Copies of this chain bind each other. A is one copy, B any other.
Amino acid sequence: MPWPAGRPRILLFDVNETLTDMSPLAGRLEEVGLPGRLPAAWFAGVLRDGVALTLAGGHASSAAVAGDGLRALAADEAGATDAEQAAAHVLAALPESPLHSDVPGGVRALRAAGFRLATLTNGSADTTRAVLDRAGPNDCFDTQLDVTGPGRWKPARVAYVHALDATGVPAGAALLISVHPWDIDGAARVGLATAWLRLTARPYPATARPADLTVTALPDLAARVAAT
């Protein structure tokens, strides 16, 4: 795909797994008797359920859907502690999620290159702020956004439009960065430019609209867009 014409005026980052390293949650799950390999199934289930609820015309917070998901996992495991305690213990760790090690440097390089930066998550903007404050680079971002206002999860069109409205940037001048192909696909359908952050060996799905740009680490993105 050709890189879209023109320098983006804002870089809009997804948060969970894109900026944050969620792997320490494996240890949290094990502390409450759940298999440490479950985070992937949990995340997929939370997205499935939050997105399905949006598609059906409803809405719930990511914390509520994530809690439901953890109670389901706890019910599968005889060795799990009380499901409510398990959910609370794991959810409490989210604001303490570390960033991928190269994110602070990559973010600072992008800010130094003159780009405006913001985040848009299906999670909580407050949690995003806590994570970025703890790790340092929160000052590089104009704003942290979530989908509470529109009441519909990404990849609903209105979620992306909410971010464009909040930052005062037209779709064609925004670049969305995400590890999630469904997020790239949704943003592309609204007219944003897109960069897929490919952190695993997984190929990009044939059923999702392709990204304009694929990078394997955030500092690569800095090099690529700084040249525009």
Contacts and interface: CB of A to CB of B under 8 A. Distances in A.
Contact of A44 (B41, B54, B56, B156): B41
A207 B56 contact: no
Interface stretch (A7-15, A18-26, A57-65): A57-65
If over half of A's interface residues share one DSSP class (helix, strand or loop), that class is named, otherwise mixed; here it is helix
Contact of A207 (B44, B60, B201, B203): B60
A182 to B, nearest CB: 4
A42 B60 CA distance: 24
Give this chain's copy count. 2
Interface in A71-90: 71-72, 75-76, 83
Contact of A51 (B51, B57, B200, B209): B51
A53 B201 contact: no
B56 A155 contact: yes
A76 B156 contact: no
Q: In this complex, which of A52, A185, A209 has the most chain B Cβ atoms within 10 angstroms of its Cβ?
A: A52
Contacts of A182: 48-49, 52-53, 56
Interface in A142-198: 153, 155-157, 181-182, 185-186, 189
Interface of A: 37, 40-41, 44-45, 47-49, 51-58, 60, 64-65, 67-69, 71-72, 75-76, 83, 153, 155-157, 181-182, 185-186, 189, 200-203, 205-209
